Structure 1
Amino acid sequence: MGAVTRLIDDIDVLGSKGLPREDFFAEVSARVRTVIDNDAGCWHTLDPSTRLLTSDAPRELVERGVLTAEAAPAAGELIVRSEYMVEDVNTFAGLATRRVPVGILDHATRGNPESSARYRDVLLPADIPHELRGAFVIRGRVWGAVHLARRAAGGPFQPRDAEILAALTGSIARGIRASLRFDAARRITGADAPGMVVLGPRDEVELITPPAREMLAALRPAGGRYTDETVATPVLALAAFVRSAPDGGKSGGNVVTVPARDGWLTLHASLPGSPEDGRVAVVLERAGGARSATVRLEAFGATAREREVATLLARGLSRAEIAEALVVSPHTVEDHVRNLYEKVGVTSRQELVARVFLDEYLPEVVRQTPLTSRGRFDLA
C-alpha cells in the first residue's frame, strides 16, 4: 500500500492548488491510472445536499478513444437516465450512502451485467464492458464521483482495485471541495438576467431564452461536440428528479446550486403542466456573490438564533434534533423555521440551503453553533 499512501499525499497536495475542477480531474485521473489499470474515467461533481449530478467531465473518454466527441452528449443523457429514471446498480447516490462508497459492476450484477440498463445502453455499445465506480464522500457529504472504464482485453475489475479506489475517496473528495471553493472565488461578478429552458418528455428543448443558451454553454464539459441547445447534465439530472418526485419536487430538491465554467448557477425546476405530460421548466440564474453565510443571513433580517437554526437545518438535522441541540422546545424551533422561510423567501430546507449556503462559507457560522458530544457538526 506504499504507492497508494504516496498517491493520497500527492492528491492532497494537488487539491491544495485550487485547480479548476476539470483540470483537477484530469490530473487525478492520470495518477489513479498508475495504481488502477483503466482505459479512461468520467468524473462528476454532485450536490452534497441532494446528491444530484451537477457536472460531468467526459473529456478523457473522448481523448482516449472510449467515446467519440459526437457520442459523448448522448451517453451523458443515458447516464442520467440510469441514475434517476430507471432502477440500476451502483448509482452514484446509492454508493454515497455506503460505508465503502465503491462498486464493481460485474459484482453488483452477480456476473450478469446485461441486467444493468447502463451496461446495455452505454457500456456495451462503447465496447467497455467492465466498470468500477466510486463516490467521493467526507463527513457524510458527497462531492463527486467517478466511472472508470476498462475494455474487454483488460479483464474485469478485481476487489483489489475497489480497495484502492476506496482508500483514495477521502483525498479526492477534499480536492473536489477545494476546487469548487477556488472556482467560487474566481466567479464573475455583476447581475445577469435569468434564463429559462422548457424540456419535453424526452428532454427535447421546446423553448429556450437567450440567457439560458449562454448559461447552458457554461455548464457543458469541454471536449464534446455540443449544439447550442444540448442540455447539460445538471439540468437533465434535476429534470429527472422533478419528474420522479411524488409532488414534482415541491417539498424540496427542485433547487440546486451548481458550478459552471464561469461561476455558479442556481437552477429552479418545476412542472409547468400535469405530471403526466413530462414537461419540465428550468430557470437558470447566476448565483449570488462571494459573501459569508452569516452576512447573507443577516441581510435577510435573520436573528442570531435564526442563524443558528439555519445552520443546523443545512447540516440535515430534524426539528427534534435542533430542539435538543439548542435546548428549546420543538414548537420554538418551528417558529424560528417559519420566520426564516418568510424572511429568505423559501418554502423548504433545500431551498434555504441553495439560496444561502455554499459549503465554503458554512464553517464561519458553525463556530457559534452548539456541538453535540459526537461532534456531528464538525466540518473539518
Structure 2
Amino acid sequence: MNKIYLSLAAASLIAATTATADIDVKTGGQAVLYYQTADNGDNDLFNHTGSRANAALQINLNADLGNDYGLGIQGTGLSTLGLEDNLVDNVMQAGGGDLAADSGDYFAITKAYITKKITCNTLAKLGRQELPKALSPFAFSEGWNVIKNTFDAMVVINTDIPDTTVVGAYVNRTNGNGLANDMSTFTKIGADEGAYMLTLQNKSLAGFTPTFSYYNVSHVATAMWLDLQTDLGKMAGLPVNIALQGGQMDPDGAGDSTTGLGIKISGKVAGIALTGAYTTVDDGALPIHNLGTGVKTPLYTQMILNQGAIKSDSDTFMLKGVAPVGPGKVIAQFAMSSAGDTTGVGLDDDYQELDLIYKAKIAGTTFLAAYVYRGSDNDNAFGQGNDTMNVLRFWARYNF
C-alpha cells in the first residue's frame, strides 16, 4: 500500500503548491466500504466463496487556474482490507490487471481533466471524466459498484440556443465496470477511432423535455436515443408524470438493427412514490446497453441485476414503490421479463426479480442494504440445477 500513501502525499503537495500560487483549490472525496454475497451455484449466502468486498478512498482536487481555466484530478485507492480467503473470495473491483482478491489493492488516477470557458455559454472539458446517463445514454458512468467508471473524452457544452443544451463529445477510452473489473485498464470504445456523440436537450415547450442523442461508434454501430419527460398526466388532470423513451442500435457489420421502446408512469399516493414501467427490445444484433461497460442500460425497467434479461429480445414490466421510513427510505421493486432466445439470462425463458432496499443517511454517512431475488424458468440460469438466486448487498459511503 506504499504506493497509495505516496500518491496521496503527492496530491497533498500539489494542493499546497497551487495554494501558495494564489490558485483557488478545493478538495473533497469519499470513503467506501462494500460487501456482497450470493447463493448461486454451489455457494451459500455469507460463504466466502460466494462473497466479494472492497474498501475505497477517493480524493478529489479541483482548482480554478484563472483565465477561465479549471483543473480536476481524482485519485482512487482500492483495497480488500485483508478480507480475502476469510470473509470473501473475490472483489467487486480490482486494478493492476490482477483480479484475485489478495491482489486487489491499487491506486489510479480516475479523473484528470482541464476545463475552459470558451464563451459565456460554451464550456469545454478535456480529459478523464465521468459522463452522466441523462446526457449520454449509451456511454455513461455507472454508480452501482464501489466506484464509478470514467472515460477519456473531449466534451463541449453550449447553451446559446434559448432553452436548449447542446453537448458534443468524442469518447476515446473507458475503464469499464462489472464484477472484479480491472479499473486501472482503459480500453478503446469502438475499434480504432472511439465514439462521437451529439446530444440535444430542449425545454422551450412547457410540460415537455425531450433529450435526443446520436452516436457514431467506430466500426461498431450508429445509435440514436430519445427520452421525453412530460407533464401529460397533469395536463389531463391526473396526479402522475409520464415519460417515453425509444431508440435504435444499428450495427456497422452484419446483423439487424435493434430497437428499444419504453414508457414510465409515476406519481405519489399517501406519501408513497409509485412507478410503473414497460420496455420492449427486439432481437437485433446488438443489445440496448451502455457501450462503455456492457453492463447497465438506459431502460426505465433497469433494476439491480436484471440488465441481462431486458437489454435484448425481451418485454419487461416493472412496479416500484418508495416510502420514507426512519432516517431513510424503503424501496421495493419487482419486474417480470418475457425473454426470447437472445437474452443474457435464461435463454428463451421468463425472468423475475424482486429488490428490497433500505437507504439512509446517518451521521453524514449514506448506508444501503439490499436483498435481491432472481428467478428464471431456465433450470440452469444461475449455475447447474439452479433456477433461483439470492443476493445481499451492503455498502457505506462517507463524503467529505
Both structures adopt the same fold (TM-score exceeding 0.5):
no
TM-score scaled by length of structure 1 = 0.27
Higher helix share: 1
Q: RCO higher in 1 or 2 (8 Å CA, sep ≥ 6)?
A: 1
Higher strand share: 2
Instruction: Tell which structure's C-alpha radius of gyration is larger.
Output: 2
TM-score scaled by length of structure 2 = 0.26
